Structure 1
Amino acid sequence: MTKTESTPAGGATAVAEPVVAVSGVVAGYLPGVNILNGCSLTANEGELIGIIGPNGAGKSTLLKSIFGLVKVREGSITLRGEEITNLKANKLVAKGVGFVPQTNNVFPSLTIQENLEMGLFQRPRELAERLEFVIEIFPDLGKRLAQRAGSLSGGERQMVAMSRALMMGPHVLLLDEPSAGLSPVRQDEAFLRVKEINKAGVTTIMVEQNAKRCLQICDRGYVLDQGKDAYTGTGRELLNDPKVIGLYLGTLGDE
């Protein structure tokens, strides 16, 4: 999927503003210790962006920096051209940015429906409409709305977490390791749901340890290494890049 283009009256082609643009970001958790060291990324309208790389490369830190959970010390982050660097998470949600963390991503003592309602606390009057949208993507949840989230499997909790993030109707969804800890069958289901979310019109940025599957479904990918974007290209290009295969995919690239 490419940038949205339009042709003005003069005949020149205008390229739309990226939905998310990360430029030269330096960020970290502790004073003087940077995890990101000049990282850049763009996500265009309707794209599914995959972020892969070795452990400690800064993948999750990048998502948290976009979502205002990690202090950005240098660089900038924009949302449709608007500066959002270090904006608080609640304000980002109101602007149409959703985030699904890897762990502790549901309220276990609440039912599935109550978890979903928590995702819409800023606009409770839209509950019926948003529930209908979410249940179309996750039909199994619709049959179990009264079940407590704490009784769900890891894969089911991941579905609830993604659903809750969708309740506000985000323009952009940030996913941190959606397949982590899941069985192979549940991993396939998670990737299928990610594709369905993206096809529903939500620009998606996904960090994923399952590098091969991530590159198979994404429009474009970024390989992070030591806090920088070392390689970028379409998912297919990265899957077939000898350097990416040798350094990050290993034998997975030959399967």
Structure 2
Amino acid sequence: MMNSSTTPVDKNVKLVEATNLVAGYLPGINILNGCNLYANQGELVGIIGPNGAGKSTLLKALFGLVKIREGSVTLQGEAITNMRADELVGRGIGFVPQSNNIFPSLTIEENLQMGAFQSQTAFTERFDFVTDLFPTLGTRRKQRAGSLSGGERQMVAMGRALMMNPSVLLLDEPSAGLSPALQDEVFVRVREINKIGVTVIMVEQNARRCLQIVDRGYVLDQGKNAYEGTGKSLSTDPKVIELYLGTLAK
């Protein structure tokens, strides 16, 4: 689990590993076709690729929201393949979906409280920790979440996931639909979350920006691994630029 202060982590220790995943939503139709991924302790890992590549499906498979038909997922070496989402939360995995990720009729404080459902006794400690990371959430704690900007809503969604004290945080396109300025703010927050010791696996549509901040990245295409490497190596790879980054990387 995550600690409330920055602690040294060994980025050579494998925390999450997905091997040869085959998964999909409809019978006989696979979205993932032998996908592989791992994340070491304290790493920030990015997943990019074209629309329909299976990026979000991969996150949902890791979090028990899509049935894995073949392959395996482990957490610290223990099998967690097809575990229910609530069981995975109890094991230290948090998930922030791309949309519908807050309760708009509830206040910021109430949203965060929903995130602490497994340990209400630790709410005050966790609330203080999250609002130290996201000060705006503390000063506006009584404001309804539905009245917030897109960037602020993402802060609430990430904050609520952190209330569960995860060791691994799965983020599905956190910058989607935001202005460039708000995208930058979200990426700063993601990096801050990672710096306190949380392993982050992030799907991101802003491929160039994603590769600038991640330790390692994966490029998916048609449900398979197309390329993988450090963020820097992928962002300068001529083939990745030509096929996936286009003019944005030039």
With the shorter chain as reference, the TM-score category is over 0.9
Shift of 1:196: 0.2
Distance 1:182 1:253 in 2: 20
So what's the TM-score if we normalise by structure 2?
Answer: 0.95
Q: Which residue pairs with 1:51 in the alignment? A: 47
Equivalent residue, structure 2, for 1:38: 34
- How many Å apart are 1:58 and its aligned residue? 0.2
SS of equivalent residue, structure 1 residue 19: strand
User: Based on CA coordinates, which of the two structures has the bigger radius of gyration?
Assistant: 1
Q: Give the 5 Å matches for 1:1-255.
A: 4=10, 16=13, 18-254=14-250
| 3-state secondary structure, aligned to 1:126 | helix
Query: CA offsets, 1:81-133, max 9 Å, x none?
Result: 11001000000001000000000000111100000000001100001110111
Offset of 1:177 from its aligned partner?
0.3
* 2:180 partner amino acid: P
Q: Output the CA distance in 1 between the equivalents of 2:106 and 2:134.
A: 18
Q: Secondary structure at the match of 1:186?
A: helix
Deviations 1:197-243 (A, max 9, x none): 00011000000000000000000000000001110000000000000
Alignment coverage as a number of residue pairs: 242
TM-score by length of 1: 0.93
SS at match of 2:50: coil
Q: Distance in 2 between matches of 1:214 and 1:233?
A: 13
**Which aligned segments of 4 or more residues in structure 1 are displaced greater than 2 angstroms?**
none
Match of 2:104, SS?
coil
Matched with 1:8 is none
In structure 1, what is the equivalent of residue 3 of structure 2? none
**1:58-80 per-position Cα deviation (integer Å, ceiling 9, x unaligned):** 00000000000000000000011
The 1-side partners of 2:196 and 2:132 are apart by 10
Where structure 2 has 5 or more consecutive residues not aligned to the other structure, the ranges are: 1-8
Q: CA deviation at 1:4?
A: 3.2
Unaligned runs of 5+ in 1: 6-14
- 2:191 aligned partner, one-letter code: K
- Root-mean-square deviation (Å): 1.0
